[in-house]
Amino acid sequence: MSASGEGIPMLDDSGSIREESGTSFSSPHVAGTISLLYQFCPKLTELNKKNPSQAVSILRQIILDCGDHLPTLENITVSENRLNAYKALVCLNRYCSGDTVPKEDIVIYNNFGNGPVKLKFSPAYFGIYDLFIYNNLGQFIDHKILRYDPGSNFIHEFEINHWPSGVYHFYIRGVQTNWDGSFMKI
């Protein structure tokens, strides 16, 4: 596969932005994407604990299949694709979609940081639910109290523009049920 290595913006010693090129700039893109993908999906994380070789195989296939197809890479790379972290996340999300939350109960609309994240929340019981958000290091980020009445279409929005880029995990604790999931800010 190919990865971006031309015209990569970076900070020099004086703090100015300049562009550099070369394979030493494309390898970090691949390594960073692999790290990002491993952190995004609890299903893959659990599989990695139980069967690391199978988890690596699934992740490898997602990265190779979900890139940008470029005819100029034909007969040069195995996949004929250039790395695309966003497309890989979309493909991984499809793999992980059956994780822990029934789709009819909770849906997160993630725009990857360009405006608010929307959480559609439809539990079976009315009451008060606690929403906790943590970063990927397990550090507490935010807590919201959600009140829900059955039959209402409940959508909660929270702004993430001021948050650093990364993977975030939410946990909802409430009446007879708990949910968890992840979303990302680029």
Last residue of a domain, one of 65, 96, 127: 96
Residue 1: inside a domain:
no
For residue 127, give the CATH number of its domain: 2.60.40.3080
Pair (69, 19) in one structural domain: yes
Q: What's the residue count for the chain?
A: 186
How much of the chain, in percent, has pLDDT values that exceed 90? 4
Closest to 100 (Cα-Cα) out of 49, 174, 172: 172
Range of the domain at 54: 8-96
Q: Do residues 26 and 85 both lie within one domain? A: yes
Quote the CA–CA distance of 89 and 173 in Å, as a whole number.
26
Model confidence over 114-148: pLDDT tens digits? 778 888 877 766 778 889 999 888 889 999 888 87
Residues 6-41: tens digit of each pLDDT:
787 878 888 888 888 877 777 887 888 888 888 777
Q: Judge if pTM exceeds 0.85.
A: no
Q: If you average pLDDT over every residue of the chain, what do you get?
A: 79
pLDDT at 102 over 50: no
Same domain, 86 and 116: no
- Does 94 score more than 60 pLDDT? yes
- Which is more confident, 58 or 77? 58
Contact criterion met (CB below 8 Å) for 133 and 163 = no
Residue 38 lies in a domain: yes
- Give dist(CA 74, CA 35) in Å, integer: 27
Residues 43 and 118 in one domain: no
What is the reported pLDDT for 101? 36
| Averaged pLDDT, 70-93 | 81
More confidently predicted of 80 and 168: 168
- Rounded to whole angstroms, the Cα distance separating 163 from 110 reads 14
Give yes or no: residues 84 and 155 share one domain: no
Residue 120 within any structural domain of the chain: yes
Give the number of domains in the chain: 2
The confidence score (pLDDT) of residue 99 equals: 41
pLDDT score at 140:
92
